[in-house]
Amino acid sequence: MKRTLAIAPRFWPALALLSLLPGCAGPASVPEAAGIDVRWINSPVVTVWPVWWERDADGLHLCGDVHRRYPGTDEDTTCSHLRIMFFDAAGRRLAERSAEFAPRQIPRGHGAQGFSRFRVLLPPPPAATARVEIQVHDEPR
């Protein structure tokens, strides 16, 4: 029997309110990311949450789930993409990288069915990196 996570409709307003807030990743799970603050800025159509670090033989990956801001809508998400930027402690941009999520059209649904995922292999973060920011853009590149 396949089990899925369903969110009761009475919680949807609270989740919508939380999706308006900029995010911050939890503690780094890999030493290279220790001390790097990860934040994300959601778009009107797409929201990113949660975000985490992974390390494998290929290198350091920044990963996360991508959801429709309003799960019950049929908004097109195929033009949405991610821009990952590295900043130093003074707020100067050190590097930038574009990323995609899959599937491109986020499935309609709630809980386990209604999200896409990204996993981006990153070059070693510049030594002065204090913050990584993930921006979601809804227009074509």
- What's the CATH code of the domain at 56? 2.60.40
Q: Evaluate whether 27 touches 119 at the Cβ level (below 8 Å).
A: no
Give Cα 87 to chain centroid, integer Å: 17
Instruction: Answer yes or no: is 13 within a domain.
Output: no
pTM, rounded to two decimals: 0.72
* Rounded alpha-carbon distances, angstroms, from residue 85 to 105, 132, 133, 135, 137: 24, 6, 5, 8, 13
pLDDT tens by residue, the chain, 141 residues: 433 344 545 544 544 444 444 444 444 567 878 888 999 999 988 999 899 999 889 888 999 999 988 766 778 899 899 999 999 999 999 989 999 999 989 887 665 567 899 999 887 777 788 999 999 998 876
Number of domains present in the structure of the chain: 1
Which residue range(s) make up the domain with 60?
31-137
Which among 111, 112, 109, 20 has a CA at the least distance from the CA of 72? 109
Instruction: Answer yes or no: is 5 within a domain.
Output: no
List Cβ neighbours of 52 (8 Å cut-off, separation of 6 or more).
Answer: 25, 26, 29, 63, 64
